[in-house]
Amino acid sequence: MRLSDLKCGGPAWLFGWATAVFLPGLLIAFERHGLDRLPANVWKMGDDIGPAAKLLLGALLILCFWLATRIRIGQLNLRAALGGLAAMLLTLGLIPAAYSRGFGIGLTGARFDLAVLPWYAVGAVAAGLVFALSLARCRARNPAPRP
């Protein structure tokens, strides 16, 4: 394992996680309220998500992004985007309703509500792309030392 894996992977994961939390909130807030107080509505939607949902999504993103960097079939962008989507769908499917405040079933009353599922999917795929691009950029600036 290279030191740059943690040095680059940590921030890349954090940027991906923030995208997965706040981009769906932006899209849902825009759909519901238009441009009226959009930044405040986006921040409120992200803030309203319960800690258990954020933590579960974050943990599953770590797992899926790690797998995306270890599997060598196809491009990292595609693997990370699919990993982000898998993490989001697993979070939506696994989080108990009592802990999903402001997210998934806690937001709409349905586990896979078709009114918001596309926005979660877009946010998850974008999170994977943000992760992959951030990781590649960091690794380009911090090449691994040769043994």
DSSP string, 74-85: S-HHHHHHHHHH
Q: What are phi and psi of 146, to 5 degrees?
A: -85, 135
Q: What per-residue confidence (pLDDT) applies to 31? A: 76
44-49 mean pLDDT: 77
Cβ burial of 67 (10 Å; 0-12, 13-18, 19+) is middle
Over 90: is that where the pLDDT of 42 sits? Answer: no
**Chain position carrying tokens 């797992």:** 63
Instruction: Tally Cβ neighbours within 10 Å of residue 116.
Output: 20
37-50 mean pLDDT: 75
Over 50: is that where the pLDDT of 3 sits? Answer: no
Tokens, residue 15? 């940027």
Over 80: is that where the pLDDT of 73 sits? Answer: yes
pLDDT tens digits for range 121-133:
999 999 999 999 9
pTM confidence score: 0.87
Q: Where are the domains of the chain?
A: 3-141
Over 60: is that where the pLDDT of 1 sits? Answer: no
The average confidence (pLDDT) of the chain is 87
